[in-house]
Structure 1
């Protein structure tokens, strides 16, 4: 299983902290986000990705506590037992 944790606005919108999905062969962050969207609705990708399917500025996605910006971006492979943390862009002051 892959555990997906929701933070900030996503947690509020979805009214849940996490979701578990079975791992699939050749899974990437991009493909997993599509499966998460199918499971919980479009709030996830709409808050993380832009219209072209790229990460919105300020989005943070961690795979096992490592930022995908330092891995292989949305093409980062995800395996059974991995934990994804999804942080939508935020503002503060």
Structure 2
């Protein structure tokens, strides 16, 4: 099974990548995906996306265009063929 992870904004710039594809054996959670990304990017994603084990304010995690905070948060299921889109927290005016 295959999933696509797309990086946007500073993720794309800092990592010099627009995303990554993973082969998974079974459905996983958003928490599992962040752990997989951390393994590949030296803990970068949990540091940027999480705060005290929760989604950091301003971080956006989408599964097939739907924000995970409207599904099951970090426990949201990721399945074969899903596209996960990640935006880092942003600020400014």
TM-score (norm 2): 0.92
Q: Tell me the number of residue pairs that the alignment of Structure 1 and Structure 2 aligns.
A: 92
Counterpart Cα distance in 2 of 1:48 and 1:4: 14
Match of 1:46 in 2: 47
By percentage of residues, which structure has more strand? 2
Over 3 Å off, 4+ runs: none
Question: Can you list the C-alpha shifts for 1:59-79, whole angstroms capped at 9, x where unaligned?
Answer: 110000000011010000001
Structure-2 residue corresponding to 1:23: 24
**Deviation at 1:26?**
3.7
Post-superposition offset of 1:37:
1.1
1:12-91 correspondence to structure 2 within 5 Å: 12-50=13-51, 52-91=52-91
CA-atom RMSD in angstroms = 1.1
Deviations 1:72-91 (A, max 9, x none): 10000001110000011101
